[in-house]
A = this chain, B = another copy of it.
Amino acid sequence: MTTATTEPVLWTRKHLLGLAELTREEIVHVLDTAESFKEVSTRSVKKVPALRGRVVVNMFFEESTRTRMSFELAAQRLSADVIDFAEKMSSTQKGETLVDTARNIEAMGVDIMVLRHPAAGAAHHLAGAVKCCVVNAGDGQHAHPTQGLLDLFTIRERKGRVEGLNVAIVGDIAHSRVARSDLRGLQKLGAKVTLVGPPTLVPKTFETIGARVTSDFDGVLAEMDVINMLRIQKERMTESGFPSVREYVQFFGMNRERLRRCKPDVLIMHPGPVNRGIELAADVADGPNSSILRQVTNGLAVRMAVLFLCQQAAAGTARDEEP
């Protein structure tokens, strides 16, 4: 751990709902904690007893293989028991509300609820209704804080810092919780954020919270230290306001030609899964500038840190223990 043991308690939250409400110091503390957990994953016995006898429930009301697996593996690595609540098999189909369902699950002695939900604000709503920890694993178009944190972690790891970097987020900003969480986190840590995409998908209102907005990807390529390519939801491509796939690739796709006009050490990020040949050409996705798989690896360490810190805070023993 990079923090000194005499330091004051840096994390007192039992929920992680979004990055907007975190201080710069809190974010840095999560990243520092994740750094020490990342080492655990390199051991042959990839386990620490930090959450032994604790129960983590994955409540995914929207499917996401990667995020669900990442949280499950993170919890296992902390020696927690993990249980899955899959909507399709649940009594919410019988008309129960989210809160009713959650209170029932909580009554079984759950310590942490990891919630993925299609409604923005669902995690906040849940946190107000239960006594256990709530970790937001994506709520509608609102926030996806662990994605934001793992992106910050990856940038810091590869660039040595976040402050002062020029970071572009490219794609359907309007509908993206990843973009929102990245933007919040990057701003707190002092990066300069440019949002890039078709005008219909990148509202000018983002300028009011300090982001630069542009639809001229080629015009900003050369100044960027980091370019985060969002996944295009092909199912949304037929909606009005959306360009065709061909147009999108032409103006906003990252490919070899565009990469050549970037800084040589530009970091190309993507939250996955990649639409190869659409927002990201296959050779760039697999090339040396890409951090895609590293983001996945770091996601696990960040989620271990979040589960650990929230549980520690809930247990009222938020001491700065070595994991």
User: Pick the contact of A53 from B46, B69, B272, B294 — CB < 8 Å?
Assistant: B46
| A30 adjacent to chain B (CB < 8 Å) | no
Q: Are the C-beta atoms of B109 and A300 separated by less than 8 Å?
A: yes
Q: How far is the CA of A94 from the CA of B273 in the complex (A)?
A: 8
Whole-angstrom distance between the Cβ of A113 and the nearest chain B Cβ: 13
Total contacting residues, chain A, CB less than 8 A: 51
| A85 adjacent to chain B (CB < 8 Å) | yes
A106 contact set on B, CB distance < 8 A? 293
Q: Are the C-beta atoms of B81 and A293 separated by less than 8 Å?
A: no
Q: Are the C-beta atoms of A65 and B89 separated by less than 8 Å?
A: yes
- Complex interface residues of chain A between 81 and 101 (CB less than 8 A to chain B): 81, 83, 85, 89-91, 94-96, 100-101
User: Pick the contact of A66 from B91, B234, B274, B300 — CB < 8 Å?
Assistant: B91
- Complex interface residues of chain A between 30 and 77 (CB less than 8 A to chain B): 41, 43-47, 52-55, 63-66, 69-70, 72-73, 76-77
| A105 adjacent to chain B (CB < 8 Å) | yes
Q: Are the C-beta atoms of B73 and A108 separated by less than 8 Å?
A: yes
| A296 adjacent to chain B (CB < 8 Å) | yes
Asked, given contacts A55-B46, A109-B46, A297-B107, whether A273 binds B76 with beta carbons under 8 Å apart, the answer is no
User: Pick the contact of A73 from B45, B55, B89, B274 — CB < 8 Å?
Assistant: B55
Q: Are the C-beta atoms of A72 and B83 separated by less than 8 Å?
A: yes
Q: Are the C-beta atoms of B273 and A108 separated by less than 8 Å?
A: no
| A119 adjacent to chain B (CB < 8 Å) | no
Q: Are the C-beta atoms of A41 and B109 separated by less than 8 Å?
A: yes
User: Pick the contact of A296 from B73, B104, B300 — CB < 8 Å?
Assistant: B104
| A275 adjacent to chain B (CB < 8 Å) | yes
Q: Are the C-beta atoms of A43 and B53 separated by less than 8 Å?
A: yes
Q: Which has the most chain B C-beta neighbours within 10 Å: A81, A91, A109?
A: A109
User: Pick the contact of A105 from B45, B69, B101 — CB < 8 Å?
Assistant: B69
| A103 adjacent to chain B (CB < 8 Å) | yes
Q: Which 9 A-B pairs have the closest CB atoms?
A: A45-B53, A107-B296, A107-B293, A91-B273, A47-B53, A65-B90, A76-B81, A41-B109, A96-B273
Give the interface of A toward B (CB within 8 A): 41, 43-47, 52-55, 63-66, 69-70, 72-73, 76-77, 81, 83, 85, 89-91, 94-96, 100-101, 103-109, 234, 272-276, 293-294, 296-297, 299-300, 315
15 contacts across the A-B interface (CB closer than 8 A): A46-B54, A46-B109, A55-B76, A64-B91, A69-B85, A69-B108, A73-B81, A73-B83, A73-B109, A77-B109, A91-B272, A94-B275, A95-B234, A100-B273, A107-B296
